[in-house]
Amino acid sequence: METVKVGIAGLGVVAQVVYLPLLARRRDLFRVTAVCDLDRGHAETVGREACVPAYDDPWAMLDEGGFDALIVLTPGSHGPLVRAALERGLWVLCEKPLAYSRAELSGLSGERLMTGYMKQYDPASQRLLEALHEAGGPGVVRHLDATVLHPSQESQLLFARTRPGHPSPERTAPYAEADDRALTAALGTSSERLRRLYAEVLLGSLCHELSLIRLFIGSPDTVDHVAVWPVEAFPPSLEVSGTLPVEGSGRYGLRWHYLPSYPAYHEVMTLHHEHGSLELRFPSPYMLNTPTRLTVTCRVGTTERTVVSEDVAEAFERQLRAFHRFVTQDEPPLTGLDGALEDIVTAQRIVHRYARWAGVPIGGECAQEVTGAPREATAGAGVSSYAEEGASGAVGHAEQSVRG
């Protein structure tokens, strides 16, 4: 197979814990040829270990070149850097969020762009798509329910021994100013808490659940209710509900709780349909090759049947394999520019609804609520080759529930 030369922009936690180890594992697919971080010393340390040039300016790295694809792992909005990379003809895998505002994506060509939502590539998510198709498709879903219990990042990373970067305020200031302008374009000059809710919670975490809803059924049709509490805490708890796009017969409910001292990360997403239930239990995203559990409940004659599947194939690695196929075979990713834009629009609809309920002034792109699903439902896209990957991994299943 063709080996793709890649540059990496951003050498923080996700680079150290996930991408660098996986890229080293998959030398058959990728060869890292440049790294960049605003902390020059940190970048040089990683560069020495990888035996590649190191930069403290991503634009300088782009200008120097030496790679065919860029993996964007920087904090904040990625819109300007992604645009610069695409304009130079590079293929781009960009971690979420792609951008904070729709304006940042205006006129952008997405032909070489893949937005990273690794949970879409999880073997359990792909098997759920197959099971949903067998049950009758998105139209049979009565309710989609998701709950996230999110402890502090520090507690999730106690095992990892990551090396934090410490860029100077002078180096980070231009990027912080660009993020601020993007948030103003999206929300106007609303409260700082509302801006943080939008950027850090909705586009920083809950977007994973939005991407799964979009994959399974299509982006939500309405946002009917949003609650945020307690008022003195940040990050807070968040609750969102509304209708699903297919035939208007299904609803969804999302609950996201930041609980800094909670023992471990937990996420459960359940689809209840006319013939049974499909449940996903996701582990911490930082624990590579820890399986997501899929539980399929259905009826066989007079018997309630529960089948549990676990596959240790790593979702991030499957995402990298999909990126390689995108670059070398032009196979479209599960989320490109349009899908990322759908999630931004849904996040803006959520923050618009909450601002109206809370009486918080809001402007920019969120001033007027977008009605109806942002784009056509894309449920079921990409089931084929992604569902087949990892099928030979360790899979456990039984005809009744296991481990409670």
pLDDT band at 373 (very low <50, low <70, confident <90, very high): low
Per mean pLDDT, which range of 67-81, 163-177, 317-331, 371-385 is the poorest? 371-385
Partners of 36 in beta bridges: 9, 55
Cβ-count burial of 227 within 10 angstroms (0-12 exposed, 13-18 middle, 19+ buried)? middle
**What six digits make up the tokens of 209?**
């659940």
pLDDT tens digits, 39-86: 999 999 999 999 999 999 999 999 999 999 999 999 999 999 999 999
CA distance 255 to 388: 31
Between 164 and 90, residue with greater pLDDT: 90
Per-residue model confidence (pLDDT) at position 383 = 44
pLDDT band at 145 (very low <50, low <70, confident <90, very high): very high
Per-residue model confidence (pLDDT) at position 372 = 54
Q: Do residues 43 and 338 touch, judged by C-beta distance below 8 A?
A: no
Per-residue model confidence (pLDDT) at position 212 = 98
Partners of 32 in beta bridges: 6
Task: Tally Cβ neighbours within 10 Å of residue 403.
Answer: 5
CA distance 40 to 52: 14
| Residue 376 scores a pLDDT above 50 | no
Percentage with pLDDT > 70 across the chain: 91
Domains of the chain: 4-116 (3.40.50.720), 120-315+337-396 (3.30.360.10)
Q: Average pLDDT of the chain?
A: 91
